[in-house]
Structure 1
């Protein structure tokens, strides 16, 4: 068993070990390029045959640029209060999948459906462990990578998207990195998380000693 397989196994054990009368709501938080989407997809695959898994990304809830309020002194594209329509995520999934909810969801694209009570909702994205969202999660996973690694991955992943390495570096250095710093300073996601994973080397992730606790998530709505 590889180190990654061991970490995935531990995460699955943590998820299926939770007993609720509603779907278990899991947040996979972390900075840009941390590997949130990949990990959430792996968890969904690993749950196959154990629990029904429903996958959602906060990127499905990005507001059009013209609808984003601008916050003075904080880069808009990396700022957690500006980019996403979190009210729609809450209304569409987190509340109906929570205590007393009817388990009927409304996706960002307008699709509706119903989940069994034993389903697992896996949501990946930046800024998911901010204070206003914490009561909606049953488990919070926070991936940690260094800023140098964040930029290195960004240059590889996004240079075509932004028109070259210089443009990509500018986006990360003026928006994504400062936005994550502001989020950490104001909300301390690692302290709120149930589990923190060092993810600089995705093939050998490491759960931080002592981080697998109740954190500040799970004080339910």
Structure 2
């Protein structure tokens, strides 16, 4: 089942026009399986002979002073202040966009040290498929950049339990320790309805048996 779903999504990744690149986003709550799904999709595309560049939005966090300026427990702060979208656009989205240079930087921030990074740019191959995983990829300023996007729809009861196993957090989605993350997602859902904006809506409650819930028709012309 999982391989069939991955193949279905890979089939939807468009061929790039005129040696341009293609941008693919994998969105979903913390613990929904974004990183694994994006890794597996990238691997399948490579098996099919397509050049792939794999990026995570988690390497584009804001520094702590910005991330926590509304308070360490603030859901609004998590939603609004977690990521440096200006750097992400300049270093990743624009280079892979129409007419882009293909010269990209894979990271802008070290989460462990809180250091701002400016690595030497890399040159992506012509026709590369950019595969990005991250939170909030269907927010207003990002929703229209994707040539294909996936949203992994998983209940909070499941995602928070997975976060607990991964991070040692509380497994109860109503617990104060995880309120920042759960409520931020609820703000996101209400403001942006990512389940509707995604090209492919996928139930990833069971890692081994994901189910495609909805597939939106491809849009031939997407603004940058």
Q: TM-score scaled to structure 1, two decimals? A: 0.86
Partners of 1:146 and 1:200 within 8 A in 2: yes
Shift of 1:67: 2.3
2:46 matched to which residue of 1? 48
Rounded to whole Å, the distance in 1 between the matches of 2:66 and 2:160 is 27
2:89 matched to which residue of 1? 90
Question: Taking structure 1 as reference, are residues 99 and 53 closer, same or farther at Cα in structure 2, changes over 3 Å only?
Answer: same
SS in 2 for 1:54: strand
* 1:29-57 deviation line (CA, Å, top 9, x unaligned): 00000000001110111122411111111
Is 1:23 equivalent to 2:21 in the alignment?
yes
Aligned residues: 210
1:146 matched to which residue of 2? 155
Unaligned runs of 5+ in 2: 108-116
SS in 1 for 2:189: helix
Rounded to whole Å, the distance in 1 between the matches of 2:207 and 2:200 is 16
2:189 matched to which residue of 1? 184
SS in 2 for 1:122: strand
1:219 matched to which residue of 2? 222
Q: Which runs of 4+ in 1 moved over 6 A?
A: none
Mapping 1:93-172, distance limit 5 Å: 93-108=92-107, 109=117, 110-159=119-168, 169-172=175-178
Shift of 1:137: 1.2
* 1:82-117 deviation line (CA, Å, top 9, x unaligned): 000011110001111111111111232413111122
Shift of 1:81: 1.9
Partners of 1:30 and 1:36 within 8 A in 2: yes
Unaligned runs of 5+ in 1: none
Q: TM-score scaled to structure 2, two decimals? A: 0.85
Shift of 1:134: 1.7
Rounded to whole Å, the distance in 1 between the matches of 2:221 and 2:186 is 24
Rounded to whole Å, the distance in 2 between the matches of 1:23 and 1:80 is 29
1:202 matched to which residue of 2? 207
Two-structure CA RMSD over aligned residues (Å): 2.4
Shift of 1:69: 6.5
